[in-house]
Structure formats: structure tokens, C-alpha cells
Structure 1
Amino acid sequence: MAFHNLKLARFVFGHPPSGTPDFDTEALHSDPALREARDRAAAGDWMSARQVIDDAGTDWELRATRIGVLARAAAENDGWVYAWLGAEPDNVAAVLVQSSMLSHRAGEARGSASAKDTTEEQFRDFHRLSREAAAAGQRARELAGPDDPIPWVEALGTMFGDQITRSTSFDTIYTEGRRRDPHNFDLHRTAIALRCEKWYGSHDLMFGTARQVAADAPEGAHAVLLPLYAHFEYAMRTFAWDSRSKQAMGACREFFRRPDVQQELDGWIAKWQAGPHSPGRLNHVRQWMALYYTLAGRRDQARDVFDEIGPHVGEPVTAWAWFWLGDRFGYLRAWWWAHGK
């Protein structure tokens, strides 16, 4: 992993400067307890995974973050997950790790290319794994406690590849998820993605959902920043859907430099900054802010947010790849620009 980061940094910078961001997700510097649990689980100690999830309590975004990290690790080595399920088949956390693991494998099977560049085999594997993830998610909903929203978040996530489930259950799942956790970041982000023009909705539906969620959310909630995600989605779909050319990037930058766009997004950022934040998705939304400031040409603000993220980035958000040729490449290019390297 570190060798890959060094090669990428040399490609972007020539000679990587000191402080070049590190995408080593294995380090998990921000959550050492999770790092230890993941390593012990990979060695067969599934009880450590159960404990670190339980320790998140009712911070649902932190709990979901830990489930997601463990699920990505399980996608490479799933023996401990099935040992856990064998010992505790009714443990909702174990079933959620399984469901998230299968969703991750579905995404890997499809790849990140546009639909026209995705093969029939990739789509077939994507839909098969998505159906398996949906079945595990149904089991998790049956087992979940009365206030746990995570199985409903997972259920929305499987709807990208399961048309029957989506067409019959979206409103039911989304409504129940909101009842359990009205301002859950992951729930609303997934719903907005499903409602965007790229998938099964429209720009108007996507923006309407994002703005209403942000308006209803309290100060400091990560859901307040969902309009940033909607604007990224709109710009990518409108200006950079078929190309990552200089012309496409220029159009995206021009969009984010519009006074009305900046006025809106600056307002949401101010509301987010005014309250306390869960650690669960803090890195994620900070990357959104860094991306916005970069596209808007606001170097000082971009640099400040990059410095808040720090040198250990972990997994870059996919929106970087919407405007550059890859998420890590995009992050490094923006970081380089913000720091004047």
C-alpha cells in the first residue's frame, strides 16, 4: 500500500514533498481500537470485531463506519465472518458485516466505469451479489433493535442493483430509517444517490431531497452537508459524464465559482461548523469541503481543510474520481494545488 502511494505521489509531484497524504487504510490512525479489532478478526478472533462494534453504542454513524471497515476487510478474507455467523447466527452486527461485505463485492464486480464501458458479465455479477446482500440485509432488519437504523441504510444500498426491491420498498425502507434516526448521514446520502438523474431520479428530486434533509438536520450534523454531494453529482453528470478533459474540468470549476452556488454551499458549511460532530463520517465530509473549495478556486480554505484531515487520509471519497482520473489521483492533485507545491 505504501509503495503504491509513493509511486502515485511521484507521478503527480515528480518528487513527492514532505507531508504528502497517505492513503494507507490499513493504518486507521483515527480509530486504533478498530485497527486492532480488524487485525485480530483477520487472524480468526471474530469476538474482537463484535466488541468494537458494540463499543460504538448508539453513535450510529461511528457504528456504521466500523461495520464498513470490517466488511471491506472481510471481502478479502471472509472466514472469520462466517465463523461468527456460525457461532451467533442471530447477532445483527454479524449479519450487517456480511451484508456490507457482499455489497462491497458487488461494487468491485461492477467496477467504476460508466455503464457503456461496463461488460455484461460485470453487470451480472453485480446484480447477483447485490441480491445476496439484500437477502442478508432483510435478515438484519428482522434482528435489529427498535432504534437501530443501520439495516435500513444497508437495505437502501442494495437497491442500486435490485430493481424489484427498489420499486416496491424504497419509500417503506426510507421512512422507517428516518423514524429510527432522522438525520442519519448514510441513510440520506444513499437516498439522494438513488434519486439522482444518474440512477433512478432527476436533478430536481435529488436537490430537493438534499436541501430538505440539510434544513431539517441540527447544527453540526453531517447530513447538513449533503447539498455539497448533490452539487458534485450535478456537475459530474452535466459537465464530466463522458470526459475528464480540460474543457470538462473548466466547466465544473466555472459552475462552482458561481456566486449563487457558493452562497448556498457556504451557508450549509456554516451551519455544519456551528455544532458538534460525530467522528464516524468526519473524514468523509471534510473531503467534500476540500473538493468544493478546490473546484471553487479557494486555495486558502482548501488548504485549511486538508490540514484538518491531516496526512493519514485513509480512503478517499469517490467524488474525487468524478473530476479527475481516479479518487487518489484527484485528492493528490487538489492537495498539491492547495499547498502550492
Structure 2
Amino acid sequence: MSFRSLITLPRMLRHGSSVGTDLPPDEAVSVDAPTEPMRAALAAAAAGDHRPARELLAATRLGAEWERRSEYVAELAGAALRNPGWLDAWLAESPEDPDAVLVKADLCIDRAWEIRTGARAKDVSQDQFQAFFTLLDDAAPVISRAADLNPADPVPWRVALTHALGSQAPRDVFDAYWAEAVARAPHHYGCHATALQYLCAKWYGSHEEMFDFAERAAENALPGSKLHALPLLAAIEYEVVSDDSTADGPIGRDRIDAAAARALELSGWYAPGDPEAAGFRNHLALMLILAERWTEALDVFRAIGVHARRFPWAYVGESRKEFLEFRLGVRMQVASQTPFFGRPPQPAAPAAAPGSVPAPRSLAIAAAPPHEVAEAALMCGVSLRIAPARSSMSYVELVPDPSPGRRATLAAGEELLTAAADNFTTGEKWPALVLRRTADRYGFTLFHKGKARARHLWDPTAPVTDHAEAAATAQALAAVFPVPDPRPLVTLLRGTNSPAERQSELVAALGLPPIPAGFGERDEILAGLDGAQLLARRGVFKGIRDTMSTDLGSPAFPVPRPRRWWVLRMAGLVLLVPAAAFAWWSPDVGWYRTIVPTAAAVYLALQLRTAWAQRR
């Protein structure tokens, strides 16, 4: 261990649980969560009703809300990618509706990119490229029609710029599209961000041209405009995505630092937790982390709140997991830099309020009796309530702790009950299914032998789950639970309507006990169940000690005793009681022979008494 570690580790252990406690919990964070109006439109579209989407886009068109319109069109096109029925019905009803045609144009681009994927060109096959270019050719007239139906709208030209990017359009075509876009909305962020990609080195420009474009747009932008974040996007493209970021690379460190400074200033124009600012704030957090500016990065995470975005975290891994792990890493870095007897730095601004984000709730169903679950969960670092369920199974829920332990505070990337299930299934033969609910989203994670074997989310606003993905999840479930035919599970997994019913039906199909009433509506639903008992959080050393003993605290978890156990102890008691009585009354028996049968009889009697009390 280095000398630096000897200094920073005690600081981290002391302050780690108190730094960033005002951040929203991990389970409240979601990636690219839609706004409430868009969420309602997406849910209706998933059910086949296009009217809310039509009304939403019509309002943006009539109000000339081009930034919002661009975001809404992209989200609706993503929803139509795997569930196009509602859009087809809309176009059949109103083939000249500029909003429907615009969504169709963006959908055509999405379909092409779904085939090509976002991989580097060297990793894309010729067949993929051929299909990609064919679909882009088919998209061109749809984009032109969308532009003709609403000549004042810059969003079709944002789609056209994306088309130019994929179709390898020459610079004069790109310039023509760009001129059309800025003629309608000179400061449109979506058009600028798309043009920035065209000009980056991995496509058709260079690092210098990309930075020049971004800095010029930022210089000409109005105060508070998101165009001030363009240099930050260029910096992330250069620092994270490209392979040319070196100390003597083409872009100087001063331009990178200036981009971060400009974005920090821009962040101050928006309230904490504002989803409008979430896109560039996520980029800003990563840039500050790369610069090892930990305190500022923590303040940016506070401003982000629950609004994680797919990018830039998808550049380094799975978006939500990376967001949460980077956020935890920043907390630990701030803690390790705080003097041992000092106080952590105070936030520059209050953390984002949770707002309308509902409290996530979870429940685990373990395929083991309560005493086995309790013994396995001694080291999980959180307080649990365990209740017996039918078929020798157990319900498990998290019990809120006013003073959570350090291990609970430092848990990253997982909801606490999910992290606990990961812990208490390790080394056990039985599985646990962790059920979750957040608003109208329901999901589960299957744990077996300490590993997450499968997970799924029913989200009314999300596209239908791919059949191959659902089949793989169903196979994983069927391999753990006694399900002879996984095909009905695939049907349950692929549906998006009535998530609560689908979750309940899946639990029944797996042969598990039914979900207790009140799940998702209130906390601590197991408190009123017969036999429910609290397993209090233990420290590391107490957990180790209790693991090696049979005392799980008070009240004890009842351990079912086999008939043989009762017979042997009763027989022993029948033999030992007369022997002890004879030893006490006989003057020829020494004290040692008197004490031994007496102690053995008392021990067996206490065992039987305790077991009988637990049984009742």
C-alpha cells in the first residue's frame, strides 16, 4: 500500500458516508426519462392511440417551439421503431399531417441506423452497409416531404443533416442543408449538435474544424442558450471518443478547459434538476471527472439530480451503471481529500429536488424459508424484514434505517434490496427474485448464487422488448425455477400494457407465492404479515460473529425441526431425567456423575422448550 493510500483511506472511511448524502438515491435515477407530457403520449402510443402525440406535436408547431419539437420527434420516432402501428394509423388517417410525416422521416433514419449500429466502420459488415444505404435512400423523399409540408420548421433539416451524416453526403450537400436549417432557426441546438458530428474527425471533418465550429456558435449564442455547451460536446468527442487525445495533440488544453468553464457558467442559468440542462450537465460531469475536479463534479451531479442521459456514459459502458459508479467515485474522491478532522465541502448550490419522481419500492421473494434467508443475510449491511410465504419460501423487504451503515451508504449502481439480494444469495443454492416498482414501471432482477441471472423492465413508454432478448430472459428464469415451457414467459415479458398485471402473472407462472397486497403503494408491506420479523443491520464484526452462531437476535427466526430431532431429544430426556434423579438421591454416586446427566437433561429441556416456543 502506498503512502498516499495510507492517508486517503482513513479519510474516505470517515467522510465517505457523509459526502453527497443530498444526492437522490440510485434507484430514483433513470436514463433519458421523458417529460410528463411526452410520457403520457408514449404510453398512449404503446397502447395504439396516436392522439396525444398528435396534439403534443401540433402544439410545438403552432407555438414554434422548435427545440422541444425536435426532442419530441426524436422520442416518438424511437417509440415507433419497434411499435409502428400507432404511427401507421396516424398516417393512414392524416397522410398530409406535417407532424406525422416528420416523425416518419426521423423513424426512417432510426431504422437505417439500427441496422448499421453505432460501431466503427471497420466493424460493420458489407451487408449491413448495403441495407443501411438502401434505407437512407428510401428516407430522402420522406424528409423532403416533411420539409415541404411545414416550410418554417427547422426540424426536418435536423433530420436531413443526420441523413447527410450517414449517407456520406459531400460537403456542398451538407452546407446546403445547414443553410436551410439556420435560415429557419439560427440558434437551434439540435441542428448544431448534429452538424458538430458531421464536422468531427471520425466523420468528415477534423478536430480543429469541429472546435472552431463549436466555439464560433457559442460566441454568437444568446446568454443562457445551450449552444454555449457545444465546445463541451466537442471536448468530449476529442477527449473520450477519439484516439488522438494526447498531451501534444492538435487541441490545446486551454481550449478544453475553456469549454468546461463555459459549460459551468451555462449550468448556472438553469435550476437544479432541470431536465432541459441534463444533456450538457451529464457531459460536464464527465469532463470535470477527467480533469480531476472532484468538488465541482459533485456539484454538477447535484444539479443533474435523477436525470441521467445515455451519452456520454454510453461511450464507456452501460449508461446508468456508469453514471452511478462515476457519481460514487466522485463522492469517494471528495471524501479522501477532506482532512480527517475537517468537514466535507459544502455544496455550491442545493441539490436538485426529487420533484415528481415517485419513491421506488422493491420486494424480494426468496426460494428458502425465513431462517435460511436470515442466516444468509447477516452480512448484507442493511436492515431487512423477512416474512414466511407458502411453499417454504420467504418475502424480504428493506426496512428504512435512520442512520444507514457505511456499506449501505456506499452501495453503488443498485437499489439497496437488490444489492442485499446479490449478497445473501452468494453461496446459496436457492434463488431470489427482486421485484421493483417506480410509478408505472415494473421490473425484476433474478439472483442465483450471487449473480444477476436475468432482469427485465415493463415500461409503458418503452418499445416492445426484442423477442430474442425476452426469450433469453425467459430461459434464464426457466433454468432456475421449475418451469417446463418458457414460451408463456416470453409473452408476459414482451407485453408493455398493464405492467402490474404482467408482473403478478409472471410471479404466478414461476410458481412463486403471490405478491402481497399494497406492493408499490406503500412502504413496509410485510409489517402486518404473520410471522414477519426484523433482521437488524449488523456491523462487519458482529455479522461475522453471528454467522458462526445460531443466535440471530430477538425475536429469533423459527427454525423448522424434523421429526427425528424431536424424537431423539425426547428419548434423551426420558433417559437422562431418571439417571439424574438417581444420582442425586444415591450416596454412592460422586459429584461428577451427578452433574453430567443433570446438565445434559437441563440442556435438552431448554432446547425443547425454545423450539416449542418458536413453533407456536
Q: Is residue 202 of structure 2 the alignment partner of residue 198 of structure 1?
A: yes
Aligned-partner residue type, residue 220 of structure 1:
G
What SS does the corresponding residue of 2:200 show, helix, strand or coil? coil
Residue 463 of structure 2 corresponds to none
In structure 1, how many angstroms separate the alpha carbons of the residues matched to 2:321 and 2:129?
26
Aligned in 2, Cα 1:333/1:112: closer, same or farther, shift over 3 Å? farther
Is the 8 Å Cα contact of residues 63 and 280 (structure 1) preserved in structure 2?
A: no
List gaps (5 residues or longer) in structure 2: 1-23, 333-409, 411-616
Q: 1:173 aligns with which of 177, 186, 192?
A: 177
Aligned in 2, Cα 1:280/1:90: closer, same or farther, shift over 3 Å? farther
Is the 8 Å Cα contact of residues 160 and 177 (structure 2) preserved in structure 1?
A: yes
Aligned-partner residue type, residue 310 of structure 2:
P
Is the 8 Å Cα contact of residues 60 and 150 (structure 1) preserved in structure 2?
A: yes
Range 96-105 or range 222-231, more displaced: 96-105
Residue 186 of structure 1 corresponds to 190
Residue 307 of structure 1 corresponds to 302
Deviation at residue 266 of structure 1 after TM alignment: 3.7
Is the 8 Å Cα contact of residues 102 and 146 (structure 2) preserved in structure 1?
A: yes
1:116-159 Cα deviation digits (max 9, x unpaired)? 1122222222222222333211111111142x211111100111
Aligned-partner residue type, residue 295 of structure 2:
D
Is the 8 Å Cα contact of residues 221 and 276 (structure 1) preserved in structure 2?
A: no
1:90-112 Cα deviation digits (max 9, x unpaired)? 21111111111122222221123
Aligned-partner residue type, residue 158 of structure 2:
V
In structure 2, how many angstroms separate the alpha carbons of the residues matched to 1:72 and 1:310?
24
Q: Is residue 243 of structure 2 the alignment partner of residue 260 of structure 1?
A: no
Q: Is residue 323 of structure 2 the alignment partner of residue 331 of structure 1?
A: yes
Deviation at residue 21 of structure 1 after TM alignment: 5.8
Is the 8 Å Cα contact of residues 229 and 263 (structure 2) preserved in structure 1?
A: yes
Range 296-305 or range 68-77, more displaced: 296-305
Is the 8 Å Cα contact of residues 162 and 194 (structure 2) preserved in structure 1?
A: yes
In structure 2, how many angstroms separate the alpha carbons of the residues matched to 1:85 and 1:198?
37
Deviation at residue 60 of structure 1 after TM alignment: 1.3
Aligned-partner residue type, residue 95 of structure 2:
P
What SS does the corresponding residue of 1:76 show, helix, strand or coil? coil
Deviation at residue 172 of structure 1 after TM alignment: 1.4
Range 326-335 or range 112-121, more displaced: 326-335
1:169-206 Cα deviation digits (max 9, x unpaired)? 21111012111111111111111110111001111211
List gaps (5 residues or longer) in structure 1: 1-16, 241-247
Residue 310 of structure 2 corresponds to 316
What SS does the corresponding residue of 2:278 show, helix, strand or coil? helix
Residue 293 of structure 1 corresponds to 288
Residue 76 of structure 1 corresponds to 82
Q: 1:269 aligns with which of 263, 274, 282?
A: 263
In structure 2, how many angstroms separate the alpha carbons of the residues matched to 1:237 and 1:326?
15
1:47-85 Cα deviation digits (max 9, x unpaired)? 210111223332211111111111111101001111111
Residue 232 of structure 1 corresponds to 236
In structure 2, how many angstroms separate the alpha carbons of the residues matched to 1:196 and 1:291?
19
Residue 38 of structure 1 corresponds to 42
Let me know the Cα RMSD of the aligned residues: 2.6
In structure 2, how many angstroms separate the alpha carbons of the residues matched to 1:238 and 1:188?
20
Residue 165 of structure 2 corresponds to 160
What SS does the corresponding residue of 1:217 show, helix, strand or coil? coil
Deviation at residue 263 of structure 1 after TM alignment: 3.7
Give 1:80-229 correspondences, 5 Å limit: 80-146=86-152, 148-164=153-169, 166-229=170-233
What SS does the corresponding residue of 1:316 show, helix, strand or coil? coil
What SS does the corresponding residue of 1:89 show, helix, strand or coil? coil
User: Runs ≥4 in structure 1, deviation > 6 angstroms?
Assistant: none
Residue 244 of structure 1 corresponds to none
Is the 8 Å Cα contact of residues 29 and 305 (structure 2) preserved in structure 1?
A: no
Is the 8 Å Cα contact of residues 115 and 132 (structure 2) preserved in structure 1?
A: yes
What SS does the corresponding residue of 2:237 show, helix, strand or coil? helix
In structure 1, how many angstroms separate the alpha carbons of the residues matched to 2:97 and 2:330?
46
**Structure number with larger C-alpha Rg:** 2
Range 264-273 or range 185-194, more displaced: 264-273
Aligned-partner residue type, residue 103 of structure 1:
I
Is the 8 Å Cα contact of residues 263 and 280 (structure 2) preserved in structure 1?
A: no
1:267-295 Cα deviation digits (max 9, x unpaired)? 42255246469x77422111111111121
What SS does the corresponding residue of 1:339 show, helix, strand or coil? helix
| Matched residues, number | 304
Aligned-partner residue type, residue 149 of structure 1:
P
Residue 29 of structure 2 corresponds to 22
In structure 2, how many angstroms separate the alpha carbons of the residues matched to 1:158 and 1:321?
22
Range 268-277 or range 205-214, more displaced: 268-277
What SS does the corresponding residue of 2:81 show, helix, strand or coil? helix
Aligned-partner residue type, residue 124 of structure 1:
Q
In structure 1, how many angstroms separate the alpha carbons of the residues matched to 2:231 and 2:133?
29
TM-score, normalized by length of structure 2?
0.46
In structure 2, how many angstroms separate the alpha carbons of the residues matched to 1:192 and 1:144?
25
In structure 1, how many angstroms separate the alpha carbons of the residues matched to 2:178 and 2:289?
33
Aligned-partner residue type, residue 287 of structure 1:
N
Is the 8 Å Cα contact of residues 270 and 277 (structure 2) preserved in structure 1?
A: no
In structure 1, how many angstroms separate the alpha carbons of the residues matched to 2:31 and 2:319?
14
Deviation at residue 329 of structure 1 after TM alignment: 4.1
Aligned in 2, Cα 1:280/1:321: closer, same or farther, shift over 3 Å? closer
Aligned in 2, Cα 1:270/1:299: closer, same or farther, shift over 3 Å? closer
Aligned-partner residue type, residue 192 of structure 1:
L
Residue 283 of structure 1 corresponds to 278
Aligned in 2, Cα 1:151/1:131: closer, same or farther, shift over 3 Å? same
Is the 8 Å Cα contact of residues 22 and 312 (structure 1) preserved in structure 2?
A: yes
